[in-house]
Amino acid sequence: MFARRLDNLPPYLFARIDALKAEKIKEGIDVIDFGIGDPDLPTPPHIVDALITAAKDPANHHYPSYLGMNAFREAVATWYERRFGVCADPFTEVISLMGSKDGVAHIPEVLVNPGDFVLAPGPGYPVYQTGTLFAEGNVHTMPLTEENSFLPILEDIPKEICRKARLMWLNYPNNPTSAVAPLSFYEEAVAFAREHDIVIVSDNAYSEVSYDGYRAPSFLEADGALEVGIEMHSLSKTYNMTGWRVGMAVGNARVIQGLGTVKTNVDSGVFNPVQYAAIAALNGSQECVAQACAIYQKRRDVLVSGLQHLGFDISCPKATFYLWVPVTGSLSFAATMLEKAGIVVTPGIGFGEAGEGYVRFALTQPVERITAALERMGEIL
Ligand SMILES: *Cc1c(COP(=O)(O)O)cnc(C)c1O
């Protein structure tokens, strides 16, 4: 009944954990879930208020513009300039997205012909792979290893793959490894993209979730980046807005135009009141972002020192709300944690084979729950 395309999707490896979790909850176990890559904190009130006000205006009840309201695209351009010193034209180099996942899933339709290659990090956000498969492209995994600070080694990509590659994904601060990239790496990537005529798409969803004074750069800060690529960004992680579905793509005008062409044919844009809320978020005080980071930082410190105490070899990440923790056998480790301690962690293999040997903890639980989880782990390990 289904098209062959669906057969090509990788097996859903989280299914076993999900089933086990549901079983535990049914048994009355108080499950502590570190599997969720979704902020537990609420969207700040000034952003919610902007939605409410806009939602009451019937002028906003119609189809939105496909590419984003002018005011939204201007707010994005202004934010990119203020935050990263990147100058992008709001009307040719910025487009709205229904969350960055929308852009991630659809950009292969713009760039990839059947049989072309897409270079994607492994471990990595699963949609880099599935979006490629929907466009009937092939994925070449760029392994991210601890020895190389979880950065891909561009010279290691075989020359024949480079010739057939149309698109390279970069994602820093990185999900799931929590690694960060220096601007010099982005400069290297721009040179590589020029040499091989590859479009770079940077996924910068976590640029604002950072600690200890670290400020993540944008790929677009690299010299020449606007000639070779774009960046996807999102309000989801920065302003606790995962449910709102609003993000943006910024960068090379040709690529943005292509993405606009695909999106015009598959969706009808972001609900205007949601765009007004996004404008309030981008233009408003960024104090709420600093407060959220301070909360994650406290949780990070408690969880990292607790896990170190239990013998895990980890250090404090500079960004993202994830810990990438080395274990032997990620699926069996995750299953044991759930079975014996009622704790959910994400097995690394769910992020591709290169994720094996690790589990991911998300810092989306309050300190009391983290402390309780560490106690339970102390009893079973
Ligand atoms: C959360 C996440 C996204 C998608 O977020 P949206 O809610 O769709 O904006 C994209 N990339 C990575 C790596 C993520 O973790």
CATH of the domain at 343: 3.90.1150.10
On whether both 264 and 350 belong to a single domain, the answer is no
Torsion of CA 170, 175, 177, 183, to 10 degrees: 40
Model pLDDT, residue 146? 96
Does the Cβ of 43 fall within 6 Å of ligand 1? no
How many angstroms does the Cα of residue 232 sit away from the middle of ligand 1? Answer: 9
On whether both 207 and 218 belong to a single domain, the answer is yes
On whether both 192 and 263 belong to a single domain, the answer is yes
Model pLDDT, residue 90? 98
Instruction: Give the domain-ending residue among 231, 252, 283.
Output: 283
Cα–Cα distance for residue pair 306/19, rounded to 1 Å: 28
Q: How many domains does the chain have?
A: 2
Model pLDDT, residue 98? 98
On whether both 278 and 329 belong to a single domain, the answer is no
Instruction: Give the domain-ending residue among 283, 312, 331.
Output: 283
Model pLDDT, residue 175? 98
The ligand 1 atom at the shortest distance from the C-alpha of residue 235 is 9
pTM, entire model: 0.96
Does the Cβ of 364 fall within 6 Å of ligand 1? no
How many angstroms does the Cα of residue 381 sit away from the middle of ligand 1? Answer: 33
Model pLDDT, residue 116? 98
On whether both 36 and 56 belong to a single domain, the answer is no
On whether both 235 and 371 belong to a single domain, the answer is no
5's CB contacts (< 8 A; 6+ apart) are: 133, 134, 136
User: Which residues of the chain have a pLDDT value below 50?
Assistant: none
Model pLDDT, residue 101? 96
Residue nearest atom 15 in ligand 1 by C-alpha distance: 175
Using DSSP, state whether 42 is helix, strand or coil.
Answer: coil
Model pLDDT, residue 155? 97
Model pLDDT, residue 5? 87
Model pLDDT, residue 19? 87
Does the Cβ of 218 fall within 6 Å of ligand 1? no
How many angstroms does the Cα of residue 279 sit away from the middle of ligand 1? Answer: 19
On whether both 142 and 169 belong to a single domain, the answer is yes
On whether both 372 and 241 belong to a single domain, the answer is no
Residue nearest atom 2 in ligand 1 by C-alpha distance: 205
Range of the domain at 27: 4-42+287-380
Model pLDDT, residue 381? 84
Is residue 60 a contact partner of residue 54, using CB atoms and an 8 Å limit?
Answer: yes
Question: Which of 174, 203, 219 has most ligand 1 atoms within 8 Å of CB, for mutation?
Answer: 203
Question: What CATH number is attached to the domain comprising 193?
Answer: 3.40.640.10
On whether both 233 and 93 belong to a single domain, the answer is yes
Does the Cβ of 234 fall within 6 Å of ligand 1? yes
On whether both 363 and 258 belong to a single domain, the answer is no
On whether both 59 and 15 belong to a single domain, the answer is no
Question: Which class for 336: exposed (0-12), middle (13-18), buried (19 or more C-beta within 10 A)?
Answer: middle
On whether both 49 and 34 belong to a single domain, the answer is no
Is residue 348 a contact partner of residue 330, using CB atoms and an 8 Å limit?
Answer: yes
Does the Cβ of 203 fall within 6 Å of ligand 1? yes
Instruction: Give the domain-ending residue among 268, 283, 298.
Output: 283
